[in-house]
Chain A
Amino acid sequence: MIPSSPFLCVITDEALCPVTLAEEALKGGAAMIQLRHKTASGSQLFSWAVEIRKLCRQYQALCIINDRVDIAMASEADGVHLGQEDIPALAARKLLGSNFIIGISASSVDEAVQAEKDGADYIGFGHIYPTISKLKEHAPLGSDMLRHVTSRLSVPVVAIGGISIENAGLLISCGASGVAVISAVSRAEEPSRAACELLHALKKGMP
């Protein structure tokens, strides 16, 4: 099930080997790895997923696959993370049953509330701050919006977008159960240390 708060989710970086990055992130204490790669072939994704799942088991962390429910099923990952353009949560739940974790991306309160209704196990909410990792169509949501959305939902909220050691604690104090990062870990000089420091910063935000 969803890791206890506060937790760190590290999303793989398309420019780096996802397995190497996952291992570094897990060493640093990440409790969730999301394999996200929009251009890799299915067989490549599948082998990465199998490797990352193995590592995650070792570290008692969760292996989540972005978008590809088929790859998550075939690799026996712990769950999927679905955006608003991916397979709808209801359809994914029918395929996956209740044991798989389904995370849904939401960039508004309405989307988040709907995702919870549709049976999401957690909501990825963002982007909270400006970010270079993904091109964004809307303005950053900010921490007040995060506070608002967490007050409306009962499922865990994972804050995403522009998260750093400086702001991570604040987001937890706004009610987020965890944060998801790409570049804050992947582009750090020592990814495992960056993950460890982020986790430390998250803990400082706990009430």
Chain B
Amino acid sequence: MKYKKLLTTPLPRLFMISSGEADTDKGTLLFNQLNLLPESLPCMVQIREKRLAARELLILTERARAIKLPAGSLLLCNERMDIALAAGLEGVHLPEGACRPDRLRTVAPVLIFGCSIHSLASLRIAEEKAADYLLFGPIFDTPSKRKYGAPQGLEKLGEICRATSLPVFALGGITPQNAALCMDKGAYGTAGLSIFCDTLRLAETLEQFYRILYP
């Protein structure tokens, strides 16, 4: 049986991924980012701190949960449904190679499960396993992903978006300057990591994104 989640409000169109540096900065950057989210701008926030052991990750996640986020925002963690449930998050983001969302959903029907995909083949699997949204990339050149080869590009993004009715977030080198190109290809929203690390400019960056994502 295919499970269709009934979201009461649409997903935010902007997707912020944590820096992965919480093991060295004790979560300072993440907490700053969360505190700086403008009140009127809902955001998907994924806590992705792969270097933390589960106990530390749970502490970090609980602290992040305690921060009041803009209405409609969703706080997710990477892969660990147990952490999401223990900390009262809204969902889990599953990298390729994670446990299948349909099996996790039987345990936690209230959570949102999104999947990273890198090809049409992995799109089909994520759809079959009942993902709620997709994260596709890298669209543009980004230093952290160079070791995996050339970026996927806008054409591939368009191909993915046309092939599914699920919301697709474009990831990888997305800026307020090129976000519109992703939306033109059918993306539901855009995701980023390093562009949100400059907290001095964060509010401005977010507002620039919002003008494009919510025209």
Residues of chain A touching chain B, judged by Cβ–Cβ distance below 8 Å, are 41-46, 67-71, 73-75, 84-88, 91-92, 94-95
Contacts and interface: CB of A to CB of B under 8 A. Distances in A.
Contacts of A42: 79, 94, 97-99
A24 B99 CA distance: 26
A84 B55 CA distance: 8
A53 to B, nearest CB: 13
Given A45-B99, A73-B81, A74-B103, A88 B58 contact: yes
Determine chain A's interface SS by DSSP, over half rule.
Answer: helix
B56 A87 contact: no
A41 B54 contact: no
A46 B82 contact: no
User: Which 5 A-B pairs give the minimum distances between C-beta atoms?
Assistant: A69-B82, A41-B97, A85-B53, A42-B98, A70-B81
Contact of A43 (B55, B82, B86, B99): B99
Nearest to A40: B97
Contact of B82 (A41, A45, A73, A75): A73
A25 B163 CA distance: 47
B99 A71 contact: yes
B103 A91 contact: no
Determine chain B's interface SS by DSSP, over half rule.
Answer: helix
B85 interface: yes
B97 A70 contact: no
Given A41-B98, A43-B97, A88-B58, A95 B85 contact: yes
Contacts of B55: 84-88
Interface string B79-100: 1111101100000001001111
Contacts of B106: 74
A74 B53 contact: no
Interface string B31-50: 00000000000000000000
Residue from the set B56, B58, B81, B83 with the largest chain A CB neighbour count within 10 Å: B81
Interface residues of B, number: 21
B117 to A, nearest CB: 14
A91 B88 CA distance: 12
Contacts of A45: 99
Contacts of B99: 42-43, 45-46, 70-71, 74
6 contacts: A69-B82, A70-B83, A75-B103, A86-B53, A95-B82, A95-B86
B1 interface: no
B85 A44 contact: no
A91 B104 CA distance: 18
Residue from the set B55, B79, B99, B103 with the largest chain A CB neighbour count within 10 Å: B99
B202 to A, nearest CB: 31
A136 to B, nearest CB: 17
A70 B80 contact: yes
A92 B86 CA distance: 8
B6 interface: no
A131 B55 CA distance: 25
B7 interface: no
A189 to B, nearest CB: 34
Contacts of B58: 87-88, 91
Given A87-B82, A92-B82, 19 more contacts: A42-B79, A42-B97, A44-B97, A45-B99, A46-B99, A46-B100, A68-B80, A68-B82, A70-B81, A71-B99, A73-B81, A73-B82, A74-B81, A74-B107, A85-B55, A85-B56, A86-B55, A91-B58, A92-B86
